[in-house]
Amino acid sequence: MKKQSGFTLIELLLVLAIIGIISAIAIPALLGQRERAKAKSTQANIAAISKEVVRVNDTLKDQGTMISASALVTSVLALSNYTLPNAKNPYNGGQVAFATSGTTTGQVVVSGGTTVDVGGLSYQSVTVTGYYTVGGTAASLSKVVGLD
């Protein structure tokens, strides 16, 4: 008689139980990673456009050109890096990531105007606000870039 080899039913059940336990731990942790990645992407967009506003403002100042904060916003948002298809909303790839108004999740709103500081001085500034979700709750982050 030939000796049969293979796995017993208990061995197979044990392996399935281990896979089930690992899945129960890993899947919820991985599901939260996507939301955190989208929020981090929106926060990175806030930082990127804030730096671009400073760069464009400094370049124009070096050339001897002074423009208003709202004109600066218009010129920055016209750059190809900040329009579709180059810049997509991390929550919905068909929507723009940067705009001058709105509160869409994943969108960064850039607006120019005047800001009054705590000392009562007013100056031209650009406000950059990003909208995202954390743990299913809507959140936002704002940055004010003062222009001199």
The 10s digit of each residue's pLDDT in 59-70 is 999 999 989 999
Give the DSSP H/E element, type plus range, for residue 108. strand 108-116
> Does some domain include residue 58?
yes
> Does some domain include residue 37?
yes
- Total domains in the fold of the chain: 1
> Does some domain include residue 62?
yes
pTM of this structure: 0.80
> Does some domain include residue 126?
yes
Tokens encoding 32: 């939260």
Judge whether residue 21 has pLDDT over 90: yes
- Cα separation, 80 vs 31, in Å, equals 33
**Nearest Cα residue to 106 out of 17, 49, 45, 31:** 45
> Does some domain include residue 41?
yes
Residue 91 belongs to domain spanning: 9-146
Beta bridge pairs of residue 126: 112, 145
Q: Supply the pLDDT for residue 77.
A: 96
* Over residues 37-60, mean pLDDT: 96
> Does some domain include residue 2?
no
> Does some domain include residue 1?
no
Higher pLDDT among residues 75 and 3, named by residue: 75
